[in-house]
Amino acid sequence: MKSFDFERACEMLLVANCQAGAAIMRHYRSDAGFERKGDNTPVTMADRDADAILLAVLREIDPEIPVVSEESASELDRERGSQFFLVDPLDGTKEFIKRRTDFTVNVALIEEGVPVFGMVFAPARKEVAFTIAEHRAVAARLDPDRDAAEQTLNAQPITVRDVPPEGITAMVSASHFDDETEDFLKDLPIAERHSAGSSLKFIQLAQGKADLYPRFGPTMEWDTAAADAILRAAGGSVVTIDGNPLRYGKWNTGLKNPAFIAWGRKPV
């Protein structure tokens, strides 16, 4: 497996995310519509424009590391390997179409089934979170309407919290809440429940603003990998129903995730 220059990649991807975010926000402010893909999920020109920007930069970072993007999902059979980038150029397309602010740009690096690097950018909120080491994650302000090179990030460390005495704060999907999630939550000491779109649910856990995010509905690896890396680096975990860490590179499933539970600091 090739060694990877994380510092260089982080610098280049901050610029690329800012550019991709600028492209997304141009469409966000217009009356651009959307199409339906073969699986009946929506796709916009914002997805495609952001995808092109990110793919170009990832190939510049390392042309030998394959890139798997939501927008190139039909090419999965050609992307097999234990080291690869996972990209979702616009996670939370439904939220984007509704002109909400909880959509993100997600970029992750997978090595041997583990997300070892992640960057999540919410351009409408001007917020970015990313990993800078195996057990370190940070968050910062990043304005897509300004050149990234001209911005002082002032990135601050983020970490998960202990579950407070009053109970668990749970994050749930804004667009995919289901009965199975409701059944799971009713057996826990839930103090608060908040909904959000995209991978921002993981980031709430990583920043110590919430404790739990259960997901029983369908997700793909590019939906979760970047934020999963950030949550793990901040001290959290993402496990399947049987308690094992969520793995990536599940080519035999078409990169579909099983049900999972994301925790900040799981109570004993």
Does 5 have pLDDT greater than 90? no
Instruction: Establish whether 70 is an annotated binding residue.
Output: yes
In CATH, 6-158 is 3.30.540.10: yes
Q: Is 228 annotated as a binding residue?
A: no
Q: So where are the chain's domains?
A: 6-158, 168-263
Q: Is 162 annotated as a binding residue?
A: no
pLDDT greater than 70 at residue 39: no
Task: Return mean pLDDT, the chain.
Answer: 91
Q: Is residue 92 part of an annotated ligand binding site?
A: yes
Mean pLDDT over 197-212 rounds to 97
pLDDT digits (tens, 9 = 90+) for 114-160: 999 999 999 999 999 999 977 899 999 999 999 998 898 899 999 99
Cβ within 8 Å of residue 180, ≥6 positions away: 216, 217, 259
Band (3; pLDDT cuts 50, 70, 90):
confident
Three-state secondary structure string covering 183-212 = HHHCCCCEEEEEEECCCHHHHHHHCCCCCE
pLDDT > 90 in the chain, percent: 73
pTM of the predicted model over 0.85: yes
Residue type, 34: F
Beta-strand ranges (E) seen in 197-259 are 212-215, 237-240
Report domain 168-263's class: alpha beta
Binding residue per annotation — 101?
A: no
**Which of 4-8, 160-164, 211-215, 241-245 has the least mean pLDDT?**
4-8
Query: CA–CA separation, 245 vs 262, rounded Å?
Result: 10
159 is known to lie in a ligand binding site: no
More confident residue, 79 or 170: 170
Residues in CB range of 126: below 8 A, 6 or more apart:
141, 142, 143, 144
Question: Is residue 231 marked as binding?
Answer: no
pLDDT at 177: 76
